[in-house]
Chains A and B, each alone.
Chain A
Amino acid sequence: MSGAWVRFRSITTWEITLFAALAVLGFLVTAQLRSETPRVQYTSQERAPLIGTALGLQVEQKALQGQILDLRNRITATETSNQGSDALVKQLNDALFQARLAGGLTALEGGGLVIQLEDAPQAAQATGGSDLLVTGLDVRSVVEQLWLAGAEAVAVNDERVVSTTAILDIGGSLLVNSAYLAPPYQVKAVGPKDLYSQLAASASWVDFVAARAGQNGIRLSIAVPADLVVPAYAGSVTIRYARTPASPAPSAKP
Chain B
Amino acid sequence: MRNPRSQIAIAAVALLLGFLIVAQIRGQTVGTGLENRSAQDLTLLVANLNTRNDQLRGEVADLGRQLDSITAAQARGDTSAGQLRDDLVRTRIWSSLDAAEGPGIQVVLRGPVTATVLQDLFNELRNAGAEAIAVGGVRLVPATVAGGSPGSLSVENTLLSDPLKVLAIGNAATMTGTLTRAGGLVAQELATNPGLGIEVTPADLLDVPATTRDLVPHVAQPRL
**Which residues does A use to contact B, with CB under 8 Å?**
12-14, 17-18, 21-22, 24-25, 28-29, 31-32, 35-36, 38-42, 44, 46-47, 50-51, 53-55, 57-58, 60-61, 64-65, 67-68, 71-72, 74-75, 78-79, 82, 86, 88-89, 92-93, 95-96, 98-112, 136, 140, 144, 147-148, 151-154, 161-168, 170-173, 175, 177-180, 182-183, 190-193, 229-230, 235-246, 249-254
Q: Measured between alpha carbons, how far is A161 from B21 in the docked complex, in Å? A: 40
Provide the residues of chain B in CB contact with A47, threshold 8 Å. Answer: 37-39, 42
Partner of B67, one of A51, A75, A112, A244: A75
Provide the residues of chain A in CB contact with B221, threshold 8 Å. Answer: 108-110
Task: Tell me whether A242 and B100 are in contact (CB under 8 A).
Answer: yes
Partner of B220, one of A29, A140, A153, A253: A153
State how many angstroms separate the Cβ of B1 from the closest Cβ of chain A: 4
Task: Tell me whether B70 and A75 are in contact (CB under 8 A).
Answer: yes
Residue of B nearest to A148 (CB): B145
Task: Tell me whether A105 and B91 are in contact (CB under 8 A).
Answer: yes
Residue of B nearest to A100 (CB): B91
Partner of A82, one of B41, B51, B80, B217: B80
Could you jot down 17 A-B contacts, CB within 8 Å? Answer: A18-B10, A28-B17, A71-B67, A75-B67, A79-B84, A106-B223, A106-B224, A107-B224, A147-B144, A171-B41, A175-B45, A177-B52, A178-B51, A182-B31, A239-B94, A241-B103, A251-B92
Task: Tell me whether B34 and A54 are in contact (CB under 8 A).
Answer: yes
Task: Tell me whether B131 and A242 are in contact (CB under 8 A).
Answer: yes
Partner of A25, one of B16, B59, B126: B16
State how many angstroms separate the Cβ of A166 from the closest Cβ of chain B: 4
Partner of A241, one of B23, B63, B66, B171: B171
Given contacts A78-B70, A79-B83, A99-B95, 11 further A-B contacts (CB under 8 A): A28-B20, A46-B39, A78-B74, A86-B79, A101-B215, A103-B91, A106-B222, A147-B143, A163-B142, A180-B49, A245-B101
Task: Tell me whether B51 and A104 are in contact (CB under 8 A).
Answer: no
- A50-B43, A74-B67 known; A140 and B123 CB under 8 Å? yes
Provide the residues of chain A in CB contact with B44, threshold 8 Å. Answer: 170-171
**Which residues does B use to contact A, with CB under 8 Å?**
1, 6, 9-10, 13-14, 16-17, 20-21, 23-24, 27-28, 31-46, 48-53, 55-60, 62-64, 66-67, 70-71, 73-74, 79-81, 83-85, 87-104, 119, 123-124, 126-127, 129-132, 140-145, 147, 169-171, 207-224
Main secondary structure of the interface of A (DSSP, over half): mixed
Task: Tell me whether A238 and B79 are in contact (CB under 8 A).
Answer: no
Q: Measured between alpha carbons, how far is A193 from B147 in the docked complex, in Å? A: 24
Q: Measured between alpha carbons, how far is A237 from B213 in the docked complex, in Å? A: 20
Provide the residues of chain A in CB contact with B24, threshold 8 Å. Answer: 28, 31-32, 35
State how many angstroms separate the Cβ of A105 from the closest Cβ of chain B: 7
Provide the residues of chain B in CB contact with A24, threshold 8 Å. Answer: 17
Task: Tell me whether B102 and A242 are in contact (CB under 8 A).
Answer: yes
**Which of A108, A163, A166, A182 has the most chain B CB within a 10 Å cutoff?**
A163
Provide the residues of chain B in CB contact with A230, threshold 8 Å. Answer: 220
- A78-B74, A249-B207 known; A92 and B84 CB under 8 Å? yes
Q: Measured between alpha carbons, how far is A8 from B58 in the docked complex, in Å? A: 74
Main secondary structure of the interface of B (DSSP, over half): helix
Task: Tell me whether A57 and B20 are in contact (CB under 8 A).
Answer: no
Task: Tell me whether B88 and A96 are in contact (CB under 8 A).
Answer: yes
Task: Tell me whether B142 and A104 are in contact (CB under 8 A).
Answer: yes
Task: Tell me whether A54 and B46 are in contact (CB under 8 A).
Answer: yes
State how many angstroms separate the Cβ of A174 from the closest Cβ of chain B: 10
Q: Measured between alpha carbons, how far is A238 from B51 in the docked complex, in Å? A: 14
Q: Measured between alpha carbons, how far is A39 from B67 in the docked complex, in Å? A: 46
State how many angstroms separate the Cβ of B108 from the closest Cβ of chain A: 20
- A147-B142, A152-B219 known; A163 and B17 CB under 8 Å? no
Partner of B49, one of A35, A58, A244, A251: A58
Task: Tell me whether B1 and A28 are in contact (CB under 8 A).
Answer: no
Provide the residues of chain B in CB contact with A167, threshold 8 Å. Answer: 123
Task: Tell me whether A55 and B13 are in contact (CB under 8 A).
Answer: no
